[in-house]
Amino acid sequence: MFLQRFYDDQLAQASYLLGCAATGEALVIDPSRDVAQYAETAKREGLRVTHVTETHIHADFVSGARELAAATGAQLLLSAEGGAEWRYAYAAEDGVTLLRDGDVFRVGNVRIEVMHTPGHTPEHLCFVVTDTAAADRPMGVFTGDFVFVGAVGRPDLLERAVQQQGTMEKGARQLFASLRRFKAALPDWVQLWPGHGAGSACGKSLGAVPSTTLGYEALFNRGLAETDEEAFVADVLAGQPEPPMYFAQMKRMNREGPRVMGALPRPPRRADAELADVLRAGAPVVDARPAPEFARRHVPGTLSVPLGKSFTTWAGSVLPYDRDFYLLAPAGADDARMAAVARDLAMIGLDRAAGWFAASAIDAALASGDAGQVPDVQPDELEAVLAGGAELVDVRNSSEYAAGHLGGAANLPLGRLAERLDELPRDRPLVVHCQAGGRASVAASLLASRGFTDVRHLAGDYAGWSQAGRPVETGEPVPA
């Protein structure tokens, strides 16, 4: 049996290619939209992709299952569990094979048993793998967003991200029951191959180790070890990271069926002189330079989303899905670099990158206008600035805020800021901060682009403030 893990650092997302060397058949589990990597790897290993599946309707990235099946002619197998509202809308059109609890299918000599594990989502499946050429008992499980290294899947996303009220406690209780069943049904030695690693918003405290065993997790994973249902429910719902705003869009897109692209986008470089015209036409422009560079000088109306590990998450919080957008590159970027950036955005459905501009376009766009700036407020100045009527805005997650925050700060997490702008005053200065500056830059640019005329940044952010021994408070967020 052949097994390879593919890992997307931007999304902290894992997908897998499993193959049978004897027959040349291969299965891909939870593919991303970058489907060429699976077909190329299969070919290199003397395999062909014959089956494609996924553990559930994802919220954090666009599924590549439909794309990969179309590209390879593979059989597409998807969950039929969870009730009518969780069925894949495109299943009949695409000739999908529907899977239910207890179903078995084969990829050559590899036996795959389907286990319905609701909780994270109602339709969630796990895939139990037995290599029948060598054994008669299972060797591992593709657990998707059900069990991670050191954590279990969060059951609150349908309520907190998709606004399906009253679902998170029900999901937590389903998750508890699924975990108990899972633990009882399988031997301790089975390997667990999860769908995410550290940094994913699909759970809290996820480990960075790529795989684990059921026996190890039963001992040290609190979600699996907890035997009291009420304690489990309280613990699994507490302290979950704020879901990015684009999660609701991903759920809808993946259920209805992502469009088949055929190839990843490669936006062309645009002439420097076009940047001003693009902005006048109202098209969004993402300035991907580092946050300090944006703060010192930028083209008014552009959105700051610094390139880095959280780039796609932040971009999904500020970019629209129904319009073309443009990228403003950091110094030294070339076509290949910006194609990679466009690829990362396409992974979360932002596939309408119409072009990119070099950093030199800033000079051309500012030839007849003033540069935008995000002025710093020094910590020693903050008290006086607030006394003068300014509003202090903390754009970190609510769990970060509860663990420690500046007194009087309103908490509007970046992932939901765009939909909560009405909570902020437009006739007073806003002083924005986060943990270390990245999210604050995105927030400041979003606020300026939406008509807030006096947006400032707290120098050093929360990290600098607290490390200097300045006073902080704990507790739940206060309304803006």
Residues linked to residue 407 through DSSP beta bridges, in sequence order: none
162 three-class SS: coil
**Residue type, position 45, single letter:** E
pLDDT at 479: 53
Closest CA to 31 of 75, 69, 73: 69
Cα separation values, 379 from 365, 467, 470, Å: 33, 12, 9
Question: Nearest to residue 104, comparing CAs of 112, 94, 96?
Answer: 112
Residue 245 pLDDT: 81
Please report which residue ranges of 265-326 form alpha helices under DSSP H.
274-280, 291-296, 311-318
Give CA–CA dist 198/202, Å, rounded: 10
pLDDT at 369: 86
Instruction: For the beta carbon of residue 211, count every other beta carbon within 10 angstroms.
Output: 15
Query: Any alpha helices (H) in 307-433, and if so which ranges?
Result: 311-318, 335-346, 361-365, 382-387, 398-403, 414-417
pLDDT, residue 422, reads 95
pLDDT tens-digit map of 386-413 = 999 999 999 998 889 999 999 999 999 9
Q: What is the pLDDT along the chain (480 residues), one digit of tens a residue?
A: 999 999 999 899 999 999 999 999 999 999 999 999 999 999 999 999 999 999 999 999 999 999 999 999 999 999 999 988 888 999 999 999 999 999 999 999 999 999 999 999 999 999 999 999 999 999 999 999 999 999 999 999 988 888 888 899 999 999 999 999 999 999 999 999 999 998 888 888 888 999 999 999 999 999 999 999 999 999 999 888 878 888 989 999 999 999 999 999 999 999 999 999 999 999 999 999 999 999 999 999 999 999 998 899 899 989 999 999 999 999 999 999 999 999 999 999 999 999 999 999 999 999 878 999 999 999 999 999 999 999 999 999 888 999 999 999 999 999 889 989 999 999 999 999 999 999 999 999 999 999 999 999 999 999 999 999 999 999 887 555
Cα–Cα distance measured from residue 192 to residue 305, given in angstroms and rounded to the nearest whole number: 35
What confidence score (pLDDT) does residue 165 get? 86
CB burial of 321-356 (b: ≥16 within 10 Å; e: otherwise) equals: beeebbbbbbeebeeeebbebbbbbbbbbbbbbbbb
Q: What pLDDT is recorded for position 419?
A: 87
Residue 455's identity, in one-letter code, is V
Residue 478 pLDDT: 56
Residues 185 and 141: beta-carbon distance below 8 Å: no
Identify the helix (H) or strand (E) that includes residue 230. Answer: helix 229-237
- pLDDT for 434-451, tens place per residue? 999 999 999 999 999 999
